[in-house]
Structure 1
Amino acid sequence: MSALPSLSDSSTATPEPGQTLPRWKAGEILEITITDLSSTGDGLGRWDERVIFVPDTVPGDRVRLRLSHVKPRYGYGNLLELLSPGPERVRPACIVADKCGGCQWQTVGYDLQVAAKQEQVKSALERIGKFEQVPLDSIIPAPQSLGYRNKVSYPLGFHKGQVQAGYYRKGSHRIVNLNQCPVQDVRLNPLLAGVKLDIQDQAWSIYNELDHTGALRHLGLRIGRRTGEILLTLVTASDDLSELSEQAAVWMATYPGLVGVCLNYNSQPGNQIFGPETELITGEASIREQFAGLEFVINATSFFQVNTEQAEVLVEIIKRELNLSQTETILDAFCGVGTLSLPLATQARAVVGVEISPATVAQAQANAEINQITNAEFMVGDMATWIPAADWHPDVILLDPPRKGCDPETLACLETLAAPRIVYVSCNPATLARDLDQLCHQGAYELIKVQPLDFFPQTAHVETVAFLRRRN
């Protein structure tokens, strides 16, 4: 019987078919061929009947790896050597793609990226959602695969006497220092490179997440793709930033498009980027953006899709599928700043948006007023408690929840509204499938259409919109 290769034996003879492998262990070295991409972005290969997940690999790659973690039927490995590249492997646009955790698929050809995302949605709906026949349309690729992000938030660090800003290294909280990023709007690159040098010159303290000392935690940048307006936000654990107003004025004079500098306070330990309080230092507290034929005002912490152009495609798909006749009432259950509901309001009788954040609701209402939309109302509330008190039955429910999806109680409450149609927008196929299972197999809805869209090129993330119709 062939033994699995060990650290002292790098031979990689494949076991004979039907043979039982002995127990494997972390540290052993294997050679495998990568055959698939997982939903987490890792390459996936097989050793006999076992599955191995290997980051930074592409289908067709022949690789040597060291097992890092094993279970009886699957394991995880770290790439030691690319023995031969697969046909879908491409040269990354990013010079630190092998280190940075911001993108998983810089080395994966774009056609394969979108094919993998299509399969990811299909697999989730079949396995988790228990749909035997998925009404799945072909994924819509992004208009551009680089330079598309309109918002970035970079953790700040201090290493060898230098202020750093960038994304975390893969699997760690060590920062990969960046001066530019190929997936963000190119107009943000000068600010990423320059602002951290000014932070260094000002000798402002950098937050240490181990002992919770220091001030500055994140550098946030947001740009209106159509207007070019930029908002700079520093996230800090304290207000111990001398001469901030003076430095902010210098930034305003230095960087074209910069309309405002804000300070967000977050003293809580953990991974949440923004805190509840934002202070305007100079300029404007929001940027303007032209979106779906309307003008939107967006502040530092508001949710707005990071891919403006693809979000407009999503809105057009929803408009086309709903085919509204100005007689319908719409409930936007996670309304944000009105990104979905306001473009639909022009074709509906009335829109009601609900959001848990008072500041976001105020901004949604302001966006309605800017566009002279009088049939849209926005209110503060949690859906699970707001719905039971609502004495109306909308014709359409829009759902665009966070990545975690909807909780069962919220979905059960939504069922009581008996809306004829539901539109569910999701950035997580797994939680989408779980929630559709409850709505369709346990509830009164049937799944009519599923449309994936690539909002996040170079990553394993995918956006999906599902259309549901109430039975009878």
Structure 2
Amino acid sequence: MHCSYFEAGRCRSCTQLDRPYAEQLAAKQLHCRNLLAGHPDLQWLPPVASAESGFRNKAKMVVGGTARNPTIGILDDQGRGVDLSQCALCTPGLQAGFPVLAAFVKQARLTPYDVPRRSGELKYLIVTESPDGRLMLRLVLRSEKLVGRIRRHLPALLQALPQLEVVSVNLHPEHKAVVEGEREILLTDQATLRMRVNGIDLHLRPQSFFQTNTAIAAALYRQGRAWVDELAPASVWDLYCGVGGFALHCAAECRDVVGIETSREAVASAELSSRQAGLHRVRFQAGDAAAFAAAADRAPDLVIVNPPRRGIGRGLCGWLESSSVQHVVYSSCNAASLARDLAAMPSFTVRRARLLDMFPQTAHYEVMVLLERA
């Protein structure tokens, strides 16, 4: 993939960009195989490759510069804005939207947050594109000072960018290396962005999580559904379920499915998708995965886990190890924590694994494994 920003030294976020993509994929496969080398009975399925560019459906862009001349991209070592509005990782729809958003910042006179001076208001533009080209915009502000001004200029933005459906303000008053705060102010009547994946409508709210690579996310859900359908369990838990991707893909009239997620926003999104699909044996609940499992009266036949990079941890590993669960589908974005968790569950045998390249041009990837109680 050619990138003028990388060649000019303006952005080095894509740490593997100077390596041919086939070489990147092979290196990731080798890395993952080495981490899981202690499981000799493991069957490796062919890796799932991604498009090399234009795959990223979500962009967290720092707003720098000035209200008269804003930049949308990242900050350099001095805290100055570096414009990356034509980043080749982003979908064409995102790239087309960035100049319109920059013009909106200028027209509404939204002062970018100056990190070195700790002054200004607008910190980030977080933009997500759905598979059908619709957009969600979140403006991360230091305070409510500019909310009224944004509301007044919003009709002009919606006219200039008609694919924009959901707009919100996120308040992040602290000066710290965290992208967003806890409070969200919705500015549009529509509250969710429809993410149609494999014929299933997932609904994304402003503070909900969705994988940044739609095509690989679709492959991830298909693989999970294929393993679940093959095993035909009567009951399934989807822990760390997010907006319900795995749960909704694995829902069938012949099985009960429960999704657990800490984010109430994500649970509300999952419940909306379930209602619209008419799935009566699927339910979602906000809460901690390990606490839910420990308090449950009985265990399901199969558990799906899709945790953050830290993995599922000792508590949930211990519960799974001592439970009656027969199979686990584990989707991991960090093979090192996956290997650590597998070592804590010796009663399970790792039967299959598949690497899915969610993050081309970096060393990161997703891997799914199917565990069976020995």
Listed as ranges, the matches of 1:182-261 within 5 Å are 182-210=88-116, 212-225=118-131, 227-241=132-146, 242-261=148-167
1:140 aligns with 2:48: yes
Deviation for aligned residue 1:341: 0.8
Question: Higher Cα Rg: structure 1 or 2?
Answer: 1
The aligned counterpart of 2:330 is 424
Secondary structure at 2:111's aligned position in 1? coil
Please tell me whether the aligned partners of residues 154 and 165 of structure 1 are also in contact (alpha carbons under 8 angstroms).
Answer: yes
Deviation for aligned residue 1:314: 1.7
Secondary structure at 1:386's aligned position in 2? helix
Deviates most, 264-273 or 396-405: 264-273
Q: Which amino acid aligns with 2:46?
A: S
Give the fraction of aligned pairs with identical amino acids, expressed as a percent: 28
Q: Tell me the distance in 2 between the aligned counterparts of 1:133 and 1:167.
A: 45
The aligned counterpart of 1:152 is 59
Q: Which runs of 4+ in 1 moved over 6 A?
A: none
What is the count of residue pairs matched by the alignment? 371
Deviation for aligned residue 1:325: 6.8
Please tell me whether the aligned partners of residues 252 and 258 of structure 1 are also in contact (alpha carbons under 8 angstroms).
Answer: yes
Alignment equivalent of 1:454, drawn from 345, 357, 360: 357
Q: How far does the alpha carbon of each residue in 1:388-426 deviate from its partner, in whole angstroms, 9 at most, with x for none?
A: 211111011001001121221222123333210000001
Deviation for aligned residue 1:470: 0.8
1:93 aligns with 2:5: no
1:163 aligns with 2:74: no
1:375 aligns with 2:281: yes
* CA-based RMSD: 2.2
Deviation for aligned residue 1:330: 0.4
Please tell me whether the aligned partners of residues 216 and 358 of structure 2 are also in contact (alpha carbons under 8 angstroms).
Answer: yes
Please tell me whether the aligned partners of residues 46 and 355 of structure 2 are also in contact (alpha carbons under 8 angstroms).
Answer: yes
- With over 3 angstroms needed to count, the CA separation of the structure-2 counterparts of 1:252 and 1:411, relative to structure 1, is same
Please tell me whether the aligned partners of residues 148 and 183 of structure 1 are also in contact (alpha carbons under 8 angstroms).
Answer: yes
TM-score, scaled to structure 1? 0.74
The aligned counterpart of 1:278 is 184
Instruction: In structure 1, list runs of 5 or more residues that go unmatched.
Output: 1-91
Instruction: In structure 2, list runs of 5 or more residues that go unmatched.
Output: none
Q: How far does the alpha carbon of each residue in 1:151-178 deviate from its partner, in whole angstroms, 9 at most, with x for none?
A: 1111222379732221355x88654312
Secondary structure at 1:342's aligned position in 2? helix
The aligned counterpart of 1:48 is none
- With over 3 angstroms needed to count, the CA separation of the structure-2 counterparts of 1:105 and 1:420, relative to structure 1, is same
Please tell me whether the aligned partners of residues 194 and 202 of structure 2 are also in contact (alpha carbons under 8 angstroms).
Answer: yes
Structure with higher RCO (Cα < 8 A, 6+ apart)? 2
Please tell me whether the aligned partners of residues 249 and 282 of structure 1 are also in contact (alpha carbons under 8 angstroms).
Answer: no
- With over 3 angstroms needed to count, the CA separation of the structure-2 counterparts of 1:134 and 1:268, relative to structure 1, is farther
Please tell me whether the aligned partners of residues 207 and 265 of structure 2 are also in contact (alpha carbons under 8 angstroms).
Answer: no
Listed as ranges, the matches of 1:16-415 within 5 Å are 92-97=1-6, 98-126=9-37, 130-131=38-39, 134-142=42-50, 144-158=51-65, 162-169=69-76, 175-210=81-116, 212-225=118-131, 227-241=132-146, 242-324=148-230, 328-346=234-252, 348-415=254-321
- With over 3 angstroms needed to count, the CA separation of the structure-2 counterparts of 1:137 and 1:157, relative to structure 1, is same
